[in-house]
Chains A and B, each alone.
Chain A
């Protein structure tokens, strides 16, 4: 089909094209309280063609692609946009001919369905004082083929494995739940950690039954590595996505190479972290994954780019154009985003707080990149009284403004803590993202509670 597409495109006046094909097989098993709830499989194929005609982008996708139809649809749409559109450009790379495959010790395809069934069955047996336990296992095997008008031809074989546990505990009318999960660009071998994750979720759910809700207000806070991952991703990372710069909708616009944060804060987005849930070899525009320093000792140093944003803003490519599947246009997305560890010991961080809150774990968050206002919810937390962890807390969340909070980071732990394997949503697309981060101290932030 590729030859036919090349042949058809040669007859058109086209500045740039890229053709993506994808084959994805997903297997998922879910058990609820020691009984299988669902065993499912998905097999998806598809191809898309994206072209730049004059100043118009056209994109066509089909799950049963026909070369002539794809070219005709993409060209029609691009020409329609060229009549009405604004200036468009593309940053070019050198031609790449690559075949890569992610690491695994035990490929999920070599594991029987029965073994995957037994894994979640065993893990979801109800432990004491838990009235509901749901355990999920998923593997996602992708073959992505990329070709473009520069002559690049890239084949990536990627194996993602993920598991999670949701536990619910109840006493009388009071009910509390906790969710823990882990994912990696690895094989079935990561499930060695499943039972620990189940135990952790159950422990948190049980403990939350005796937790109290903090009094809402402004406090000095410490946030653990997991919540820091969400903070760095949501509050800072989204504002560095350069498509937001093109739409003039990032609170970082105009702050390039300026001191916007504390000198303790150096932040990277790095798609090359080995085996990480947010990693890949080449983005969905055929650009190699890259380690990008987005903040250097508090100075905002780089946006994250696609081919288009790099060209229009005259910046270097960073390999951050990602699409959920071949059915979607690549967007500027993060990968693995983290603060570089500092030199503070966790106990010292706590000791410095007289009356504050320690927030732990994450239930997700959201930011408005235009204003920089954000909100994150923690899994649980502790009050801090006179330099020591005190009462156990639930329903605790953090709110603030990116530019204000980044300035208020006073201490960064000397090591990475737990990470957060999540899915980031943007324009109806979801991609895996990861962060392994240190705990950080913030001198002043709004904590939600009663």
Chain B
């Protein structure tokens, strides 16, 4: 039986018989997941999933096919789809082979974790979070060891191995008839101590137990990294996609090289971030990974592009090409820090995914928040946060120093005056 590399090469050669250009991507993650329920380990799963994806271009027409079994059929389907398709609006080819970076995305300590090792981590989570007030109601520990293989008709032959350990925990604090939930997750490419995660989550659950109704609005709102990343992902980042820009579906169209958001904020797409969860040597088209400035001190500098959209708009690929898509890698938000001594601090929201990505409107329920005043923290509840992400970023006054990562977005907390508080 052929190994994955040989299988990739075989699919490429088969596709090249009829196609002018070919992309092959084989993804082979091995995953073990241990689930927790009510302060105990609950079930253990093991999944082996190989995905064979082939994108072909036949006389300027494209077809994509995906299968989880190695078979000529995956190529035949892609060719049939391309022949049935209509000509692409534009097509310039695929990038030629270039020198690629070698990235740090593998930790052999994760591969060495046994079933008992994962159970030990789960036990450490339970011990670190559960007490007489707090229950670890649900959670999971997931180990993933992946192999990604990319072949293109332009000579790319890339093999990359990566590791990831994901920890999810949801807990409930109950005291004197009061109840509060708290949730957090961490996904990392290398092992790191668990204590900061568990102690922060336990403290979060208990601190917000005795939240009082928010009575009045405050001028400065600090949105902590998790809700800020959530809102940024759903209510702003799609506007930085080069395809949306080209199609008139971005509120940032025509604003390149102008001051669009606060000069205190810079945003990058950075596929080279050491141990970044979306770091990789090249994109699925074979373009080398890079760090792309999107906003530099508030000035719009670029969008993310694949090879063809970039050439069509007179740009260069930013290494964000997928299979007929343009995808972010690691989004890194940087900014100026300024001490804020009085603010409403938003710790968690629900409903960010319902935001309007084009208008950048959002309106979310605040799950956990506190008033920060002269170093004192008073937990509050019972209100909504709304506005436009555009305004929130324009009126940013500070970005927190402590950077966290959620869904591939690496950011500190955003302090802004550009959001609305709706009292209930």
Binding site for B on A (CB under 8 A): 32-33, 35-46, 56-64, 73-74, 76-78, 80-81, 84-86, 112-114, 117, 121, 131-132, 168, 170, 173-177, 213, 216-218, 243, 246-249, 327, 329, 363-368, 370-371, 373-377, 394-397, 399, 427, 446-450
Contacts and interface: CB of A to CB of B under 8 A. Distances in A.
Contact of B86 (A33, A35, A74, A213): A35
A80 B122 CA distance: 13
A117 B354 contact: no
Contacts of B353: 364, 366
Given A64-B69, A80-B116, A370-B172, A377 B181 contact: no
Contacts of B420: 216, 450
Contacts of B44: 56-59, 77-78, 80-81
B247 A449 contact: no
Contact of B68 (A63, A81, A368, A377): A63
B46 A60 contact: yes
B81 interface: yes
A396 B140 CA distance: 35
B62 A38 contact: yes
B386 interface: yes
Given A247-B37, A247-B38, A248-B137, A63 B48 contact: yes
Contacts of A329: 43, 45
Given A41-B63, A399-B351, A447-B422, 18 more contacts: A39-B64, A40-B63, A43-B69, A43-B77, A58-B43, A59-B45, A61-B46, A78-B44, A246-B37, A247-B137, A327-B47, A370-B172, A371-B179, A375-B349, A377-B351, A397-B354, A397-B384, A448-B384
16 contacts: A40-B64, A42-B66, A63-B51, A81-B44, A86-B37, A113-B80, A117-B86, A168-B358, A173-B251, A246-B38, A249-B172, A329-B45, A365-B351, A365-B354, A366-B354, A370-B172
A41 B119 contact: no
B181 A62 contact: no
Given A58-B44, A80-B115, A35 B89 contact: yes
Contacts of B251: 173, 175
A248 B172 contact: yes
Interface in B54-68: 62-68
Most buried by A among B138, B170, B181, B351: B351
B42 A45 contact: no
User: In which size bucket is the chain B interface?
Assistant: 35 or more
A396 B356 CA distance: 11
A52 B250 CA distance: 51
B46 A368 contact: no
B222 interface: no
Contacts of A216: 363, 384, 386, 420, 422
Nearest to A78: B44
A39 B45 CA distance: 34
Interface string B94-134: 00000000000000000000011001000100000000000
A57 B137 CA distance: 18
Contacts of B291: none
A113 B84 contact: yes
Contact of B77 (A32, A41, A62, A327): A41
B224 interface: no
A370 B179 contact: yes
A85 B48 contact: no
Nearest to A399: B365
Interface in B345-389: 349-351, 353-359, 361, 363-365, 367, 384, 386
B303 to A, nearest CB: 16
A39 B115 contact: no
Contact of A85 (B42, B51, B359): B42
Nearest to A218: B424
Contacts of B89: 35
Contacts of B199: none
B68 A39 contact: no
A395 B351 contact: no
A89 B356 CA distance: 44
B70 to A, nearest CB: 8
A36 B68 contact: no
B41 interface: yes
Nearest to B67: A43
Nearest to B421: A216
A246 B43 CA distance: 14
A375 B84 CA distance: 43
Contacts of A371: 179-181, 367
Contacts of A376: 351, 354
A395 B356 contact: yes
A249 B354 contact: no
A12 to B, nearest CB: 16
Contacts of A112: 84
The 10 closest A-B pairs by CB, nearest first: A375-B351, A448-B363, A216-B422, A377-B354, A113-B84, A63-B68, A77-B44, A40-B64, A375-B365, A397-B363
Contact of B356 (A44, A84, A177, A450): A177
Contacts of B45: 58-61, 77, 329
Interface in B255-286: none
Contacts of B221: none
Contacts of B315: none
B206 to A, nearest CB: 15
Contacts of A249: 137-138, 170, 172, 181
A175 B359 contact: yes
A395 B357 CA distance: 11
Interface string B132-161: 000101101000000000000000000000
Contacts of A397: 351, 354, 363-364, 384, 386
A195 B249 CA distance: 21
Interface string B167-203: 0001010000001110000000000000000000000
Contacts of B40: 84-86
B49 interface: yes
A40 B248 contact: no
A175 B384 CA distance: 24
B363 A377 contact: yes
A229 to B, nearest CB: 14
A77 B66 contact: no
Contacts of B78: 41
Contacts of B38: 86, 246-248
B50 interface: yes
Nearest to B385: A448
Contacts of A36: 85-86, 88
B231 interface: no
B73 interface: yes
B65 to A, nearest CB: 5
Given A216-B384, A246-B38, A448-B422, A39 B365 contact: no
A56 to B, nearest CB: 8
Given A59-B43, A60-B46, A375-B365, A42 B65 contact: yes
Contacts of A248: 38, 135, 137, 172
